[in-house]
Chain A
Amino acid sequence: MAQSKTQFGYCRHADQHRAGTDIAEYPIVVVGAGPVGLSLAIDLAQRGQRVVLLDDADRIGEGSRAICFSKRSLEYWDRLGVGSRMADKGVVWSVGRIFHGTSLLYQFNLLPEEGHKRPAFINLQQFHAEAYLVDRVQELSAIDLRWRNKVIGLEQRNDHAILTIETPDGPYRLRAIHVVACDGARSSLRQMVGAEFAGQVFEDQFLIADVKMTAEFPTERWFWFDPPFHAGRSALLHKQPDDIWRIDLQLHPDADPAVEKRPENVRPRIARMLGHENFDFEWISLYKFQCRRMDKFIHGRVIFAGDAAHQVSPFGARGANSGLEDAENLAWKLDRVLRSLSPDSLLESYHIERSAAADENIRESTRSTDFMAPGSRQEARLRKAVLSLARETDFGKRMINGGRLSVPSIYDSPLSTADCDAWRGGPRPGASMLDAPIAVRAGESAYLTDAFIKAGTRFTLLEFANGAAVDAPDDIGTIRIGGNDGFSDSLGLVGARYDAAPGTAYLLRPDGYVAARFRQPTRTALDAALARAAGIN
């Protein structure tokens, strides 16, 4: 496929000609065209909403930044029509190795089983991901992407907000029923609503370098504690497409950033790590980490998503991936509220579900960072004990924390209907649907995640045939496994992963999370679960 554009032009829009109180109105204005804002806009547009997407720059940011995109994110991007492009370009991986000094302590496989459309992770530079998303945006006429449109003012009203937007042609104003702020860690919208953004700051500095080289390392995540090339600190090596390698080195807290960042100082460190000097720098960046979130993700008419709402340390790939989970959680809810199918209060469940997920991500990434940079002599001593015990015990290996990688949260949600039947497995209400291979009757193979998209990416009943079809409402999608007209569970994995028996049915939300499940669903129980999941109480 042709190289995607990364530089875009500013275009004056007719809305900017309007004067005084004659302000253009849109149902949704998304601020920030990063991975989260772009994905959210695509999702909303595919659901039939008009979206204005504003970005203060006119180009896709440089540097790899986020590189690890999770299975869940790929499944979301499949729904948005960009999953294959991402997966084809990305470097697929599922194995991680952890070293102490020169010896291998532990190795893990994040997706040890077969039968999933998407791998545990791909590594892909954020600028590639954004470029593919922009390409997709440009296929959708419902999205109006405006570069060099910087929000400089916000007025909150009862049922809308008015944004003042700075452009090269001067300012103009827009009225939005809902504003979604996806404008990153330094969110200006967050400052405009006056929200606190407090949390834990980590003193340790990390140096991130992307280097270009041809190398024979396997496509795995390698993590070192106290490696010979970087004594006393930690290091990470990870492959990206186009012979680019991500190297992440922990520095001493008192290291001088300006000095450390100079290529002539970075080069010898990396040469020691790689054992040669045949590499070029693509990007060097120094980081200090913060773990924090907003108290409330919704402020009047402004909803916050991604880094604007929460920030984590990067160990665990929980930044961009959790932002994409925000987008998939929010899009269907906004769509239903704008269509008056659900009350405004459905949006509150976005805050409930995603702020709990943010807490989980912060907890996990804080633990990883603390393990890498112990805060006291006793913490360092406990870590030393874990690393030495890992050489001869299984429990020691499992206690090493070199980053716990992102998996979808399980929501403890008001939208879920509690189980009333007995289950020995399967995703419980509030958990994300599991993928599995299916066969279309003609013998063509596919995946459950494909079937979910074919069913309309809406409320969908996944039913395991037991004679006649379940009496379900007309306006929901259906995925039928077995029976004369259903998909065939060719490898038995759908049944196994869903603890299914004939008659079992799962009600999936439009974001693919389980709302309710039944051994033998009745119409009354289904209607009640559907109403609850749609926030209609």
Chain B
Amino acid sequence: MALSTSSNFAKPDDAFRAIVEAHRGLSDEESADLDAALVLILANHVGDLDVLREAIALAQRRMVAAGQQQQQQ
């Protein structure tokens, strides 16, 4: 199984909204705690180390790209 990056939700806005709302009213520290738990829960649900590694690599690539953009500005 490879990491799926096609759109999997019928209503992507609902999924994004659900995550945003979970963070409403939380301090940065509480939000970070929530995210840590959420990452672990979702990683376990995926249950595939290769997919998890692909997901981590995708997230890291995005951070590198963002860093380069900042430098260019």
Contacts and interface: CB of A to CB of B under 8 A. Distances in A.
Grouping DSSP codes into helix (H, G, I), strand (E, B) and loop, the B interface class, with mixed when no group exceeds half, is helix
A385 B37 contact: yes
B33 interface: yes
Contact of A388 (B32, B37, B39, B44): B37
Contact of A399 (B32, B33, B36, B40): B40
A446 interface: no
B36 A382 contact: yes
Contacts of A382: 36, 39-40
Interface string A359-394: 000000000000000000010011011101100010
Interface string B29-47: 0001100110111001000
B35 to A, nearest CB: 9
A384 B44 contact: no
A249 to B, nearest CB: 27
Chain B interface residue bracket vs A: under 10
Contacts of A384: 33, 36
Contacts of A381: 32-33, 36
Contacts of B36: 378, 381-382, 384-385
Contacts of A386: 40
A378 B40 CA distance: 13
Interface in B14-55: 32-33, 36-37, 39-41, 44
A393 B39 CA distance: 14
A396 to B, nearest CB: 8
B33 A395 contact: no
A144 B28 CA distance: 67
A389 B37 contact: yes
Contact of B32 (A378, A389, A393, A396): A378
Nearest to A396: B40
B7 to A, nearest CB: 27
A386 to B, nearest CB: 6
Contacts of A388: 37
A99 B33 CA distance: 21
Nearest to A380: B36
A378 B37 CA distance: 12
B63 to A, nearest CB: 14
A60 B12 CA distance: 69
Among A382, A384, A393, A399: residue with most chain B CB under 10 A: A382
A378 B33 CA distance: 9
A377 to B, nearest CB: 8
A395 B44 contact: yes
A389 B33 contact: no
A382 B35 CA distance: 9
Among B36, B37, B39, B44: residue with most chain A CB under 10 A: B36
B4 to A, nearest CB: 21
Interface string A387-410: 011000101100100000000000
A389 B41 CA distance: 8
Nearest to B40: A385
Nearest to A382: B36
Contacts of B41: 389, 393
Nearest to A386: B40
A389 B39 CA distance: 12
B36 to A, nearest CB: 4
Contacts of B39: 382, 385
A386 B32 CA distance: 14
Interface in A399-424: 399
Contacts of B44: 393, 395
Nearest to B38: A385
B62 to A, nearest CB: 17
B66 to A, nearest CB: 18
Interface in A183-207: none
Interface in A82-119: none
A382 B37 CA distance: 7
Among A385, A388, A395: residue with most chain B CB under 10 A: A385
A382 B41 CA distance: 11
Contacts of A385: 33, 36-37, 39-40
Nearest to A388: B37
Nearest to B32: A381
Interface in A269-325: none
B68 to A, nearest CB: 23
Among A393, A395, A399: residue with most chain B CB under 10 A: A395
Contacts of A399: 40
Contacts of A395: 40, 44
A399 B44 CA distance: 10
A396 B25 CA distance: 26
Contacts of B40: 382, 385-386, 389, 395-396, 399
22 contacts: A378-B32, A378-B36, A381-B33, A381-B36, A382-B39, A382-B40, A384-B33, A384-B36, A385-B33, A385-B36, A385-B37, A385-B39, A385-B40, A388-B37, A389-B37, A389-B40, A389-B41, A393-B41, A393-B44, A395-B44, A396-B40, A399-B40
Given A382-B39, A385-B37, A399-B40, 16 more contacts: A378-B32, A378-B36, A381-B32, A381-B33, A381-B36, A382-B36, A382-B40, A384-B33, A384-B36, A385-B36, A385-B39, A386-B40, A388-B37, A389-B40, A393-B44, A396-B40
Interface of A: 378, 381-382, 384-386, 388-389, 393, 395-396, 399
Ranked nearest first, the 8 interchain pairs of A and B with the lowest CB-CB distance are: A385-B37, A385-B36, A395-B44, A381-B36, A382-B36, A385-B40, A381-B32, A381-B33
